[in-house]
Amino acid sequence: MTRSARATSFRLPLLALFVNAGLIFVIIFSFFPSVFREQTQRLVFPVAVAAPVQPSIKVTSGKPVNISLPQLALSMGIIDGKYDSTHQSWTLSDDKAQYAVMTAPANNYQGNTFIYGHATKRVFSKLENFSQIGAEAIITTDNGYNFHYVLKEVKDVKPNDVSLFAYSGKPILTVQTCSGSWYENRHLLVFDFVKVEKA
């Protein structure tokens, strides 16, 4: 038998084997489709579970440019505020509040928005004896939103208490001025975020 005849004689049975295997697969699939469907679902299901979860809210934020406390008839502009590590001091304005730019902007998602100012008549002197829990604060941002907050806590802390900068929970607003006989303490008003709307 020649080499080509031998090769042909081996190819024919092999071809028949593949054809028969294909027929068997079709028959099994026709009578037991649920077996294959179950296997497919097992493979696909984990992929569906692993899909990224989208935030349930639209995140809105903006840089503070005005603060208003209606109960105190107080409303004033806000400018950027920075900490000078060389002189270990904050920038301060004589007639405006300041937004600590290293803290979170006003937003409806998370973090602490920190506004501070002098305890002087032209800035935050009205805050010194103010403790009306539930009072409203409104922050207006550079992109035209009003963020509404309600007062939840008033406290005095030492200047070396910097815990407010480590905050990472739901959105809050902290307003700070000085307090004490020699203005040696930091007077903090902490507000919870309520809502945001177009200005």
pLDDT digits (tens, 9 = 90+) for 63-79: 999 999 999 999 999 99
Mean pLDDT (the chain) is 80
Residue type, 162: V
Fold of 61-198: Sortase; Chain: A; (2.40.260)
Q: In whole angstroms, how far apart are CA 35 and each of 39, 40, 41, 86, 107?
A: 7, 9, 10, 72, 51
Band of the pLDDT at 41, cuts 50, 70, 90?
A: very low
Domain range list for the chain: 3-49, 61-198
The per-residue b/e assignment along 170-180, b for 16 or more CB within 10 angstroms, e otherwise, is ebbbbbbbbbe
Beta strands 83-84 and 172-179, pairing class:
unpaired
Question: What percent of the chain has pLDDT above 70?
Answer: 72
Using CA atoms, how far apart are residues 41 and 30, in angstroms rounded to an integer?
A: 18
Predicted local distance difference test score (pLDDT) of residue 137: 98
Q: Tell me the pLDDT tens digit for each residue of 148-165.
A: 999 999 999 998 888 888
Q: What is the pTM of this model?
A: 0.70
Q: Token pair for residue 129?
A: 């004896």
